[in-house]
Amino acid sequence: MPRVAAIDCGTNSIRLLVADVTVHDDGARTLHDVHREMRIVRLGQGVDATGRLDDEALRRTREALADYAETARREGARSTRMVATSATRDAANREDFFAMVRDTLGVDAEVITGEEEAHLSFVGAVGDVDPAQGPFLVTDVGGGSTELVLGNWDGAHADILAARSVDIGSVRLTERCLHSDPPHSNERQEAEKVARRVLDETLADVDASRARTWVGVAGTVTTLSAIAQELPEYDPGAIHLSWLSRARVAETARSLLTMTRDQRAALGPMHPGRADVIGGGALVVEILAEELAERAGITGITVSEHDILDGIALSIS
């Protein structure tokens, strides 16, 4: 069982998974967690407006990576793979980021193709879901982008039918539209208009009508599940494979959008780094719930704690 370290660097957060990988006779792989950690570094802060990665955001990311490198070394990881997504793809000073990663972590950050990102996200998300419930639509509402992947899963291998990544997420939508605290009704309406326009086009491209089960991953949807369940604190065990009805998604999203930042921050499961942007992400999930009900008759979302981070770990040979 090789021990590996996987790092997923997104627009809002950076996450580490150290795990042992078991390779089965049929070629399938399973993970045994050794260490999981997440930090909010807001790497994509302001990048939508300036086209550049902020110096302070780079500093925060460097500090997190230095700690992650030490943790991976201490836990005995033999191989490390880091994937960087949305915020680094088009930034004018992206080479500063890659040089920093190389110096701090000792490996290069990879900006992977959309096809590989879709495959890694899908495999990580559906690993604990009954294959008979497919085809699956996996959605990852991140800080800077939202990924949608449609596919089948036989318990060992994934067949990706369609995938799309679009530049709408919790940070981008908040920075574009939701400026007041709490957001004014006209700001919420504008945010909904922006998100709906992007998602309508995307859901047509991936033919969401083919999906039988909707699986949501990553911090926006897992936090939404924790709040909808009224958990006193963030509990991965209670969140993983939880199910939220469309009505409960809408109720929770609308509640978050009418709260002040301090009210959201006071919720037990809320990570401090998500409190100011969770409303924008929740709105994206609410629109997805509405669209999937209309297009595919899907009445709710299955929430997975496993996502692209697990897919990255499984991909390390």
Asked, for residue 316, whether it belongs to a domain, the answer is no
Q: Does residue 317 fall inside a structural domain?
A: no
Give yes or no for a contact between 168 and 281, defined as CB atoms under 8 angstroms apart.
no
**Domain's final residue, options 55, 79, 111:** 111
Please indicate, yes or no, if residue 240 is contained in any of the structural domains: yes
Residue pLDDT, tens place only, 121-159: 999 999 889 999 999 999 999 887 888 999 999 877 889
Domain membership flag for residue 117: no
Residue 29: pLDDT band by 50, 70, 90 thresholds?
A: confident
Choose the final residue of a domain: 82, 111, 140: 111
CATH code: domain of residue 62: 3.30.420.40
Answer whether residue 19 is part of any domain. yes
pLDDT tier for residue 12 given thresholds of 50, 70 and 90: confident
Please check the confidence at residue 253 and state whether its pLDDT lies above 90: yes
Note down the domain range covering 294.
128-308
pLDDT for 38 beyond 80: yes
> Could you report the per-residue pLDDT of 295-308, keeping only the tens digit for each?
999 999 999 999 89
Q: How many domains does the chain have?
A: 2
Q: Are residues 198 and 281 in the same domain?
A: yes
N- to C-terminal Cα distance for the chain? 11
Q: Which residues pair with 33 in a beta bridge?
A: 19
Alpha-carbon distances of 223 from 121, 190, 232, 273, rounded to whole Å: 18, 24, 12, 12
Is the same domain home to 152 and 190? Answer: yes
Residue 218, pLDDT > 90, answer no
CATH at 289: 3.30.420.150
Same domain as 191, residue 43 = no
- 87 and 160 in a single domain? The answer is no
Q: How far apart are CA 36 and CA 303, in angstroms?
A: 18
Listed residues 76, 111, 146: the one ending a domain: 111
Contact 305, 236 (CB under 8 A): yes
DSSP string, 26-85: TS-EEEEEEEEEEEE--TTTTHHHHSS--HHHHHHHHHHHHHHHHHHHHHT-SEEEEEE-
Q: Both 62 and 138 in a single domain?
A: no
The verdict on residue 28 lying in a domain is yes
pLDDT confidence of residue 91: 85
Does the predicted TM-score (pTM) go above 0.85?
no
